[in-house]
Every structure is written in C-alpha cells, then in structure tokens.
Chains A and B, each alone.
Chain A
Amino acid sequence: NAGVTQTPKFQVLKTGQSMTLQCAQDMNHEYMSWYRQDPGMGLRLIHYSVGAGITDQGEVPNGYNVSRSTTEDFPLRLLSAAPSQTSVYFCASSYSGTRMAETQYFGPGTRLLVL
C-alpha cells in the first residue's frame, strides 16, 4: 500500500492563479479530508468527504473547492490564489468518518507559496 499520496510536493503560484492539489489513497477509506498547516496554529480542516459524491465544508473553506468522483481521489482546488493561502496542505483519510476513535492517515503534504 502506498497509503495517502499527494502531488505536487511544492508549488509556487502568482496571486490570482488557480491550481489543483491532488490527493489519492489506496486503503479503500470512505472518509477523506484536507487540512492546512500554518505556523503556531496547528492544522485546520478545510473540506472533507464521507464518500464519492459527498463533500462538506470544514473550519476554513473560503477560497477552496473540492469534489470526490471516486473513493480513491479527493482533489483540492484553489480558485484564485491569494498570499493568505501560502501554507502546507495535508490530505488525510480514515476508514470511518463517524467513529471518533478512528485513526486518520496523513499524506506527506504539499507546500504552497503564493506570491
């Protein structure tokens, strides 16, 4: 198992550009989510999905869009990049989205710099 994979590892964007951060998992997990990591703030939930075709907003969803057409993939789209979106983005997955003791598995992250 590759686990949770993310591409690209690093990206530089100009303000106003759009891009898609890719996330895939091969563990047949129903629940996938995106977090952003900012210094001194830990990780914060952006969007999540509980299955193909089902997504919802997390704590900081503004400026981001998601879709989930397959169980394996959960891409995150930046519609019009802003410097405030400079961050490290982590994708996570777990088997269940409702059992609170469930372990979430994280990808290696995408480091995004918006100029």
Chain B
Amino acid sequence: AQSVTQLGSHVSVSEGALVLLRCNYSSSVPPYLFWYVQYPNQGLQLLLKYTSAATLVKGINGFEAEFKKSETSFHLTKPSAHMSDAAEYFCAVSDKERGGYNKLIFGAGTRLAVHP
C-alpha cells in the first residue's frame, strides 16, 4: 500500500525566509504526487503535481517541488515566504481502490505559520 509521511506538523518561518515542507512517500509503483494547500476555513486547492514529466515541478504562488526517487521525497519549497502563505499544506499520492478507481492518500498535513 502506498503512504505519505509529512515531517513536521508545524513549521514557522519569518516573512522573506525560505519555506521548506517535507514529504516522503512509499510506493511500489512510479508515484503520482500532489501538494494541496488549505487556507483557513476553505477547501483544498491544488498547488502542483508530479506526473513523471519533469522532476522539478513549478506550481502556483511561487511554490515548487522536486521529485527525488533515490530519497523517495517530494519536498515543497518557496524561496521567500509571504504572510499570505500561512495555511495548512498536504502532500498526497495517487492510489487505486480495490475497484480500480482513484483515491488520494494524504499525509497528516503541515501547518505553516509566517511571522513578520
């Protein structure tokens, strides 16, 4: 079974500092990986996804993630944090239900706080 581990349930950075949110996956097949963001009292919004086309994936709002097969990682980064980046971030891997249909396996989430 596939799984996702997000290291650090809470990350705090200063405005302008580098954002690094860690995600490691376990998969027996080439994975399809996603990062979603959840702003307070809102639903999940796709930031970016890895579909094997390129190992460095650029997303919205200046975020990017690098797929590293040797490390089974898909860490999310942003060079300079903004106050508006404060949110919860979820890493997910695509998997199949027993009927052959898709489901997302989510990590536990990382709450990002940005301080002035």
Q: Which residues from chain A sit less than 8 Å from chain B, CB to CB?
A: 4, 31, 33, 35, 40-45, 48, 50, 56, 58-59, 90, 92, 94, 96-109
Contact = CB atoms under 8 A, between A and B. Distances in A.
A107 B51 contact: no
A40 B9 contact: yes
Given A98-B100, A103-B49, A42 B32 contact: no
Contacts of A44: 106
Contacts of B51: 101
Interface of B: 4, 9, 32, 34, 36, 41-46, 49, 51, 90, 92, 94-97, 99-104, 106-109
B102 A31 contact: yes
Given A100-B94, A109-B43, A42 B108 contact: yes
Given A40-B108, A56-B97, A90-B43, 5 more contacts: A41-B108, A42-B90, A43-B106, A94-B102, A98-B102
15 contacts: A33-B103, A41-B108, A43-B44, A43-B90, A43-B92, A45-B103, A48-B97, A48-B101, A100-B32, A101-B51, A104-B102, A105-B46, A106-B45, A108-B42, A108-B43
Nearest to B103: A45
Contacts of A50: 99, 101
B103 A42 contact: no
A107 B100 contact: no
A96 to B, nearest CB: 8
A76 to B, nearest CB: 15
A50 B34 CA distance: 21
Contacts of A100: 32, 94-96, 102
